Amino acid sequence: MLGRFISCGVLAISLGALWRVTLAPSRVGISSAFAGIFFLLLGFIVGGLAWYVRDARVRRADPARVSDERIVFSFVVFAAMPFAVLVVVGLVWLLAFVIGAR
């Protein structure tokens, strides 16, 4: 599990750094801050889904190698929770945007 966490974290930081170096404006505002958070969480979501697909393929080939708990835990921790955080951050961002934060 530590390897999964590290690989998803490295992917998230890489996507965040890629956004900052290439797409980010010089002055980060409310819209671009959400974009940065999106890219960071997207790394965890993509990494989590990749690990889930890997576990599902291994389980299909040999069910004894991967338990149900491991598949569910990996999906929830590395894909569903980052997505839920992204939804909450998106709602907060939308609220701030509607209120008029600059």
pLDDT per residue over 36-85, tens digit each?
Answer: 888 889 998 999 999 999 999 999 999 899 888 988 988 899 889 999 99
CB 45 within 8 A of CB 86: yes
Distance CA 49, CA 80 (A): 9
Domain count, the chain: 1
Give a yes or no: residue 70 inside a domain: yes
Distance CA 87, CA 9 (A): 19
CB 65 within 8 A of CB 31: no
pTM listed for this prediction:
0.79
Residue 82 sits in which domain range? 34-102
Give a yes or no: residue 8 inside a domain: no
pLDDT, position 8: 87
Give a yes or no: residue 51 inside a domain: yes
Give a yes or no: residue 99 inside a domain: yes
Residue with more model confidence, 28 or 11: 11
Distance CA 56, CA 32 (A): 36
